[in-house]
Amino acid sequence: MIQSGTVDYRERQENFERWFQTPLGRALLADQRRFCDYELGGSTGARQLHLAVSHRLPLATGTDFVQKIVTTPRWSPQTPEGVVVCDADELPFPSDSMDLVILHHAADFSPYPHQVLREAARVLRGEGTMLLIGFNPVSLWGIRKLVSRQHLGPWGGRFLLRGRMEDWLHLLGFAVQGSVTRFLRLPIQRSGRRPFRQMDARLSGNRFLPVGAYYCILAKKRVYGRLPRKPVWRKSSVISLPGTGTVGASRGYQQEGVSIGIPQEQE
């Protein structure tokens, strides 16, 4: 699943990957890598899954996992051996098989962003960690997307609201452990001068200024087990037949030829 209506998301993914070769794209990727290394540097486990628009944009390379699985949405003769070719909304992995899932703009460049989160939640084991990165529409970058006539680079992405993504995660059984916005550079290629870099370093990640170019959501998949309960056995009530003259007995009740009822007074 890659096309939705007239929108060719595969073409937008390829263009977004090329955009990362620009000065602004390299600066954005470097900031995302620093954040992932800071948040996930000490993570360990069996399997780490990285979902992105390309296998050439790795994140969290400093983690200590037995197996690190990298995916790409399209195949080419240059695709390295071991890279899994698949769409983020149709993952070929068993359920509960990953300890860490990283979504690097995977929902931004998918026709089915909610399905991307559902698939990531499916393959993640209970108490596993998910790191979700997406473009922030409440930013100068979001304004640039609104006024942009061309859907090139990041401007071809969805720019989904951070609050909506957090709501989706809650519905999928996740507990959000952290949520910040980062990268306050202007969305122009010449914004990498020293004053802008210093401002970005001071204000990036400030929760009172959530207008960074992208957001990072760190969430844990919760598994709520039921407490074992002992069965409550009801004592069977023994119903005895009412005796002669008992108040409330049925009139004329017949059982095996025996008449049980209230005796009539003799005149």
Summarize pLDDT for 123-147 with one digit per residue, the tens: 999 999 999 999 999 999 999 999 9
More confident residue, 95 or 206: 95
Q: What is the pLDDT of residue 242?
A: 56
198 vs 213, residue with greater confidence: 213
What mean pLDDT is predicted for residues 2-25?
86
User: Domain-by-domain residue ranges, the chain?
Assistant: 3-221
> Is 267 a residue whose pLDDT tops 50?
no
Kindly list the strands in the beta sheet with 44-52, ordered across the sheet, starting from the edge strand earlier in the chain: 84-85, 64-72, 44-52, 98-104, 124-135, 214-221, 174-182
Which pLDDT score is estimated for 149? 84
CA 55 – CA 187 distance, rounded (Å): 24
Q: What is the 3-state secondary structure (H, E, C) of the chain?
A: CCEECCEEHHHHHHHHHHHCCCHHHHHHHHHHHHHHHHHHCCCEEEEEEEEECCCCCCCCCCCEEEEEEEEECCCCCCCCCCCEECCCCCCCCCCCCEEEEEEECCCCCCCCHHHHHHHHHHHEEEEEEEEEEEECCCCHHHHHHHHCCCCCHHHHCCCCCHHHHHHHHHHCCEEEEEEEEECCCCCCCCCCCHHHHHHHHHHCCCCCCCCCCEEEEEEEECCCCCCCCCCCCCCCCCCCCCCCCCCCCCCCEEECCEEECCCCCCC
Q: What is the pLDDT of residue 41?
A: 87
Percent of the chain's residues with pLDDT above 70: 75
What is the rounded CA–CA span in Å between residue 76 and residue 202? 41
| Residue pLDDT, tens place only, 144-165 | 999 988 889 999 999 999 999 9
Dihedral of alpha carbons 170, 174, 178, 183, sign: negative
What is the amino acid identity at position 75? W
Over residues 84-109, the mean pLDDT reads 97
- How does pLDDT run across 243-263, given as a tens digit for each residue? 555 444 444 444 444 444 445
Give the per-residue pLDDT at 228. 64
pLDDT, greater one: 7 or 166 = 166
pLDDT score recorded for residue 12: 93
**17 phi, psi to nearest 5 deg:** -60, -40
Q: Round to whole Å and give the CA distance between 267 and 259.
A: 21
Q: What is the pLDDT of residue 21?
A: 95
For the chain, the average pLDDT equals: 84
Res 209: pLDDT: 73
Residue 42's pLDDT band (cuts 50, 70, 90): confident
Q: What pLDDT is stored for residue 164 in this prediction?
A: 97
**Residue 62 is encoded by which pair of tokens?**
């400093």
pLDDT confidence band for 210 (50 / 70 / 90): confident
Helix axes 162-171, 113-123, angle to 10 degrees: 40
Q: For domain 3-221, give the CATH number.
A: 3.40.50.150
- pLDDT higher than 60, residue 202: no
Q: Which of 142, 172, 170 is nearest to 155 (CA)?
A: 142
Please give the residue that has the higher pLDDT: either 11 or 199.
11
